[in-house]
Amino acid sequence: SVSLSAGDVIYVSSESTGFTSFFGFAPDYTTGAMSINGDDAIELFENGIVIDTFGDIDTDGTGEAWEYTDGWAYRVDNTGPDGGFVLANWTFSGITQLDGTTNDLSAVPFPISNYSLTTQEFNTTSNFNIYPNPTNSGFVNITTKANTAVTVTVYDVLGKQVLSKTLNNNTLDVTSLTTGVYILKLNQNGTSTTKRLIVE
């Protein structure tokens, strides 16, 4: 476990020697969990909850639009975390693009530390309020500072989309959801954030 602040970048690799030789600097952490082969989906957890997913965890990515064998996938600026996988929020090198002896000599080098999440985007999370949370009433209220429709996409802890609605009255019907923890992606007027919802 490690705490990070907005804007921090860390590098996690399956090993250090090859990473350092290829990129010119050492990874911050090494772990066998990073032994991925270019067609594996990846989940990001925060406090035991999946907050972001890359790829479809139930699908071999070979031949899929999100395959990254000998290449890379990189999140589009000012997007995420999405809870589930949103292909449009990622950009790709294409496969077999990192075959150079170093990143700089590869056909399409990995974009090191270029991701940007603007301060305005990051601070908008306070614009969305959800209550009651936890809920056992079959609904939750979603309020914002703006008086326009809110698009809500709900993901389960495995990153599977289970509900999608556009709200004009601030009330989300969750009677179709079973007891558990969910991730809500909220979007309004181009501003988006994610929230955790507990259904009892």
Domain residues of the chain, as ranges?
120-199
pLDDT score for 189:
76
Q: Tens of pLDDT along 124-169?
A: 444 678 889 889 999 998 887 777 888 999 988 777 889 999 998 8
Return the structure tokens found at 5.
């602040």
User: Does 117 have pLDDT greater than 70?
Assistant: no
Q: How far apart are CA 84 and CA 76, in angstroms?
A: 15
Mean pLDDT over residues 184-194, rounded? 79
CATH fold of 120-199: Immunoglobulin-like (2.60.40)
Token representation of residue 108: 């399409």
d(CA 103, CA 70): 11
Query: What per-residue confidence (pLDDT) applies to 31?
Result: 92
Give the pLDDT score at 126.
43
Residue range 84-100, pLDDT digits in tens: 888 888 888 899 998 88
Residues 187 and 151 sit within 8 Å (Cβ to Cβ): yes
Predicted local confidence at residue 123, as pLDDT:
41
Between CA 173 and CA 137 the distance in angstroms is 9
Residue 40 CA, distance from chain mean position: 15
DSSP assignment of 150-161: EEEEEE-TTS-E
In this prediction, residue 26 carries a pLDDT of 95
Between residues 123 and 139, which one has the greater pLDDT? Answer: 139
Taking Cα atoms as reference points, which of 130, 134, 125, 131 lies closest to residue 181? Answer: 134
> What does the pLDDT read at residue 122?
39
Higher pLDDT pick, 126 / 77: 77
CA distance 98 to 101: 8
A 10 A CB-CB count for 118 gives 10
